[in-house]
Chains A and B, each alone.
Chain A
């Protein structure tokens, strides 16, 4: 971290990240706040965000920041700490759509975001979302309701899985087994939803940076 006023190095990201330097300033300030002026952030630093406690899937979100696949590293697994460049890489998944994108760029844009989501669902990094992982997701989503039975979450996840199987694999005989949702199937499932218009965060008004512990 350089002296006050110097702008942090803009990492070379692929595809090129078109955020303004102002937004990078804001994110850098936030990064410093989270890391308590260290160079890197660890998982524990995320615990200092008060609002994140209410989030049912906070585990998965924090996990996603340290996932090597999201950080565009070749290997698998998790890193222990991330620097500002990695932080920006993750944030780049949430940038809004731009007007002048052509078809191919748009497609790649969309695939990127969906891949991020896919990695969040697929916790064991095997490239498939199995029934167990899906059940895990639904359980986490419903974890805010303590009196709920596990059975309900399980049934919903199973029902959803069956629906996904019927979309992706069509009619299946009683002996065939649907292994899990692959990325292509995942794309199919998301066809109806405009992910590129939904999955973005506005970086506009960052003066009111939230308080940390």
Chain B
């Protein structure tokens, strides 16, 4: 028995809930609230758009930008005028009830209802997982058609108050389109750059980093809306522009915070919008006119289908990857209308538009139809037509290398052909970005980090987190294969991987160093700082111990399976993000605490002889043992990924199966005090596995 949620998309259910709630309120005798346009445009819409813009898959978006723009601009214009014109004809023929509705009013109506709604599209398309191309086409169209809608809406609203409309007015309207869209993008870019620049300096106040992202984006939206520019495009532009730089600057936790807050807000907004739609349907004044409503519905569908067909025929001449009829059908079918149309209509003035109620009814009918009928049937249709679904491939380092290689290759071939194509300009933009922009907007040494390295760090960190989160030794994720460096490098002597035994006093020395350092770190951690998310020092100490124990175990595992990039001399937040813990914050050592050990890591290796100083934010430690015999003299130092600050979020339960060699090692690390440990003549780090 299929569950309700697999047949009915969430948006439909929410509208039904809204209907019920509205009905309930009405039944009680109260006046149910109608979706206030101010609330909608100021509070409910921005989170959704920001979420969409910040996580926009930029590569596919820019590859298909031409197609998306044509659909958004030309398609919406066609829809608006076709629908408006036809409805005018219907009104003229429709008898006494409709005769008085003028051409302008109809055109305005057409422009309101013709725009594909991003909220509805997101809500429905999220669940059906079609391939990325179609998704980005429909979704991109719904985002970019806002400019057209804004222009047409204001234009026709203005014209309705005029006595006469001249050619000049129409021409001005045409120009205002460019102003609105490009102006919106410009405002967004400015705010994006400001945010990126601000994030460069937030290394000392990590806690409010997410705030900047939200604040500046919202200001971009408001600024654009203030001047009647396209707020949606401003929001998208700011999200797209700020993202690469902000992500390079902010800490891992801030990144997670931003992601979760955006998802949370957009989710809540979406839910509220659909519920309100339902409530407003019950609450609103309706004026049902069969002719008008049915013809609106019909012509909407016809206009959409015709528009997509004609435009695709035109676009396919220029596309390398043509759009098949199946694709066209999905694009046409995915033209859902939503709450934006409703709110825009609600904003209309009664004085000039007496027939507002009729418009409202018609719009609600169209919305219901598209969301319910099209929304519900699109999933079985996608299955029926065997449309290509989204491929769930994980980004791997191989793919990244290949993609970059291919990019450079195609750029090179274009240069050889003498053809200034897509790749040529992209390459030029990248070079400009690297040379000038990154230096301004990214803090410190990160600005010089090439993309491949950054990607590799990110992947490593992700894998490390996965390892730690998956628990103890017994639960190694199956993605970790047993392929290790030995398998691919036959010439490597096996002795390289076995860490040689140390002399006894060397061992003692190492242990003493570690113990001392353990103490020092703890003292520093104990200090109080308002910005520190500290719970309770004792709990935190326990967490630290558990965490360290866990880490040491994982490190054992990691030693055998991973190669990690050796510690960068560069001061990079990615490295600090590799530490699984909370944000690094500055604190002073306190003299009185002595019962808790601390860790300062002093990686005494030939490669990076800097000491890790916890007064700075970014200790340069990265796990992984350099397997080279010549480091024998220096001693083997565990460069542990250490959470240097208190308030670790996760409490790890120690896994079962502590092998005795592990325990011995762990005892050294988690040593809470200066206790002389009479160790036997064991190597400090156990040989291999």
Contact = CB atoms under 8 A, between A and B. Distances in A.
Interface of A: 27, 30, 33-34, 46, 49, 51-52, 54-58, 61, 91, 94, 96-97, 99, 117, 120, 131, 137-138, 141-142, 144-145, 147-149, 151-152, 155-156, 158-167, 169-174, 176-178, 189-190, 192-193, 197-203, 205-206, 208-210, 212
B100 interface: no
A171 B487 CA distance: 10
20 contacts: A30-B416, A34-B416, A138-B452, A141-B405, A151-B566, A152-B566, A152-B568, A155-B563, A158-B488, A160-B401, A162-B563, A165-B481, A166-B483, A177-B487, A177-B488, A178-B488, A193-B403, A198-B406, A202-B419, A210-B420
B563 to A, nearest CB: 5
A49 B417 CA distance: 10
Interface of B: 320-322, 391, 393, 396-399, 401-406, 408-424, 427, 431, 448, 450, 452-453, 456, 481-490, 562-566, 568, 607
A174 B408 contact: no
Contacts of B564: 155
Contacts of B411: 55
A172 B483 contact: yes
B131 to A, nearest CB: 10
A190 B402 contact: yes
A163 B561 CA distance: 11
A71 to B, nearest CB: 16
A193 B402 contact: yes
Count chain B CB atoms within 10 A of each CB in A52, A117, A152, A190 and give the residue with the most.
Answer: A152
Count chain A CB atoms within 10 A of each CB in B416, B486, B563 and give the residue with the most.
Answer: B416
Nearest to A161: B488
Contacts of B402: 117, 189-190, 193
Contact of A162 (B399, B406, B453, B487): B487
A50 to B, nearest CB: 8
Nearest to B456: A156
Nearest to B423: A201
Contact of B566 (A51, A155, A172): A155
Count chain A CB atoms within 10 A of each CB in B396, B409, B562 and give the residue with the most.
Answer: B409
B397 A27 contact: no
A153 B544 CA distance: 34
A201 B421 contact: yes
Contacts of A151: 565-566, 607
Q: By DSSP majority rule, is chain B's interface helix, strand, loop, or mixed?
A: helix
Given A33-B418, A51-B415, A159-B397, A178 B487 contact: yes
Contacts of A120: 405, 409
Query: Which 6 pairs of residues, A with B, have the shortest CB-CB distance?
Result: A166-B481, A177-B490, A210-B418, A209-B418, A61-B412, A51-B415
Contact of B485 (A94, A138, A162, A167): A162
A51 B398 CA distance: 27
Nearest to A152: B565
B413 A94 contact: yes
Contact of A203 (B401, B417, B423, B483): B417
Nearest to A206: B419
B487 A176 contact: yes
A177 B404 CA distance: 28
Nearest to A164: B398
Nearest to B411: A55
Nearest to A113: B406
Count chain A CB atoms within 10 A of each CB in B410, B482, B488 and give the residue with the most.
Answer: B488
A173 B398 contact: no
B397 A160 contact: yes
Contacts of B482: 171-174
Given A192-B399, A210-B419, 16 more contacts: A30-B417, A55-B411, A56-B408, A57-B409, A61-B409, A97-B320, A149-B566, A156-B453, A156-B456, A156-B565, A160-B398, A162-B487, A162-B563, A171-B482, A172-B483, A192-B393
B488 A162 contact: yes
B563 A158 contact: yes
B398 A189 contact: yes
A46 to B, nearest CB: 7
A29 to B, nearest CB: 9
Contacts of A210: 415, 418-420
Contact of B481 (A61, A155, A170, A201): A170
